[in-house]
Amino acid sequence: MSSDLYAALDLGSNSFHLLVGRLVGGKIETVDRVKDTVRLAAGLQADRTLSKEAQSRALESLARLSQRIAGIPNSQIRVVGTNTLRVATESAKFRRRAEKLLGQPIEIISGQEEARLIFLGVAKDFAPDRQKRLVIDIGGGSTELIVGKREPQILESLHMGCVSWTQRYFKEGITRAAYQKALINAKSILQPHIKQFSNIGFTESIGSSGTIRALGELMPEVGGNAHQITLSHLQNLAKTWIESPKKLTFSAVSESRVSVLPGGLAILQALFESLPIASMHTSEYTMKEGVLYDLAGKTAHHDRRERTVTRMQQMYHVDLEQAGRVFDSAEQLLAQIGLYERDEQAREYLEWASGLHEIGLAIAHGGHQKFGAWLVQNSDMPGFTRREQATLSFLIQNQRKSIARSTSDYGITEDWMLVVIFRLAVLFNRSRVLVKTPKIGIKLRSKSLRVTLPAAWLNEHPLTHFDLEREATYWKSVGIQLSLIES
């Protein structure tokens, strides 16, 4: 199946957004665009479980949207979940049902990754100049703040959004007392971040979310311009809405958007009053455009993940020569076994794992594989999804000594064959000198693993032979019987 189409599906806290397009001359040419107001955040209950009603709305929406992405290659589709799916407990169960409907994995991305993708999308809406911009996106459950030029320089994701704030403060309608509480609480959440965003400076402010665009549409109601939001007009809008709501027509904004707009208005006013924002323009580009550009960039080998791995290698002073030796061995084993000939993803995971498998040494030598796995699992890694980080963490933890099953709820596959390949690559390079990977045979069934190696090679490498024999003990912990066969 071949196609020049790409699809980005953003499972937001307020709405699900599908964008289908093709890349023409470095810009997205939109082929189709679908928005479905699902109000997922409204179904987030006190115990952080998703209500059955919210799950039902979401699954019905995904059943419809799945029809539109049918026929597009899987490698050219990306489905991302944001704040509500990040914070919901037991979201893995819902995600599995949703993935079955879509026929696609759902990647729950971090707040930092969400911010990066928003900036990537918005940056494409403007000329590639050297102007430093502040980009703000008020979603249903979180608010993202990013400052940068062509690349983001600082990113923050704050736990307040138009749906969550409206539910918390405006269930009984917008009143002066409720609005003041919403405004003050938003400012308190912003307080720890004011200094860094004020100090870095920016010459322009952009609002990228539907909430901010809707507030822009209401600026003419209070004497302003729909394309320019200012603090005085936001204050006038809040005052009019509280004191004389009948003066506002809301004709330019959908009814579903108006119902969650009070929370968004309080958050945006708090941002204007806390940060040096003179005025704000709005952009039609949002995270879904960023996802599409990021996806197209990966297929064109402009992969942000490569830079993330390089940055972490520098941060944790990785021995690049050793990382290279391990990957060379892993790649040779991969080719010998022949099971992954057409699976580029397996090669990518081995390359990333080889590059980062020793970062735990920056903490301690004993158990460094566990420290490395924790760092990969819990770090902000631009370009990586949480599922990719969980898979990478699983590989790094299992590079040596005891073998552990995955405890991640991101739905990763325990690929024991990939673990075998990686463990052997690390084991063969324990001496930290260049070695030629021996001709090897590996057969893995559900409960048994057979590793076949030349007897002559094993005789020449007695320490490695000893380590290989000890592997049988480690594999027993996951219920797999290992046999070392000399050929």
- Cα angle vertex 394, ends 390, 395, to 5°? 120
The predicted structure's pLDDT at residue 145: 95
For the cut 80, the answer to whether the pLDDT of residue 302 exceeds it is no
- Is 33 in the same domain as 60? yes
The predicted structure's pLDDT at residue 255: 86
The predicted structure's pLDDT at residue 123: 82
Is residue 456 situated within a structural domain?
A: no
Q: Domain containing 31 — which CATH number? A: 3.30.420.40
Q: Domain containing 143 — which CATH number? A: 3.30.420.150
Q: What pLDDT digit, counting tens, does each position of 456-476 carry?
A: 999 988 998 999 999 989 999
Which of the four pLDDT bands, split at 50, 70 and 90, describes residue 41?
confident
**What mean pLDDT, rounded, does the chain reach?**
89
Look up residue 16 and give its two tokens. Answer: 């699900």
Is residue 277 situated within a structural domain?
A: yes
The predicted structure's pLDDT at residue 252: 84
- In 38-177, beta strands by DSSP E: 77-81, 106-108, 133-138, 143-148, 152-158
Helix, coil or strand: residue 19: strand
The answer to whether 141 touches 13, Cβ cutoff 8 Å, is: yes
- Is 76 in the same domain as 157? no
Query: What is the rounded average pLDDT of the residues 148-177?
Result: 92
First to last CA, the chain: 42
Domain boundary among 254, 275, 296: 296
- Is 175 in the same domain as 61? no
- Is 399 in the same domain as 357? yes
Convert 268-309 into a string of H (helix), E (strand) and C (coil): HHHHHHHCCCCEEEECCCCHHHHHHHHHHHHHCCCCHHHHHH
Q: Domain containing 375 — which CATH number? A: 1.10.3210.10
- Is 423 in the same domain as 307? yes
Is residue 74 situated within a structural domain?
A: yes
Closest CA to 393 of 367, 357, 428: 357
Structurally, how many domains does the chain consist of?
A: 3
Is residue 446 situated within a structural domain?
A: no
The predicted structure's pLDDT at residue 27: 74
Is residue 466 situated within a structural domain?
A: no
Q: Kindly tell me the burial class for residue 187, based on how many C-beta atoms sit within 10 Å of its own C-beta (0-12, 13-18, 19 or more).
A: middle
- Is 197 in the same domain as 324? no
- Is 322 in the same domain as 213? no
Is residue 444 situated within a structural domain?
A: no
- Is 39 in the same domain as 135? no
More confident residue, 338 or 129: 338
- Is 65 in the same domain as 18? yes
- Is 164 in the same domain as 49? no
Which of the four pLDDT bands, split at 50, 70 and 90, describes residue 234?
very high
- Is 30 in the same domain as 165? no
Which of the four pLDDT bands, split at 50, 70 and 90, describes residue 39?
confident
Q: What pLDDT digit, counting tens, does each position of 54-88 carry?
A: 999 999 999 999 999 988 998 899 999 988 888 88
Which of the four pLDDT bands, split at 50, 70 and 90, describes residue 239?
very high
Range of the domain at 87: 6-109+289-296
For the cut 60, the answer to whether the pLDDT of residue 399 exceeds it is yes
Is residue 447 situated within a structural domain?
A: no
Domain boundary among 296, 325, 340: 296
Q: What pLDDT digit, counting tens, does each position of 247-271 carry?
A: 999 888 888 889 999 999 999 999 9
Domain boundary among 252, 283, 314: 283
Is residue 81 situated within a structural domain?
A: yes
Closest CA to 377 of 343, 347, 402, 404: 404
- Is 244 in the same domain as 97? no
The answer to whether 79 touches 291, Cβ cutoff 8 Å, is: no
- Cα angle vertex 54, ends 53, 57, to 5°? 85
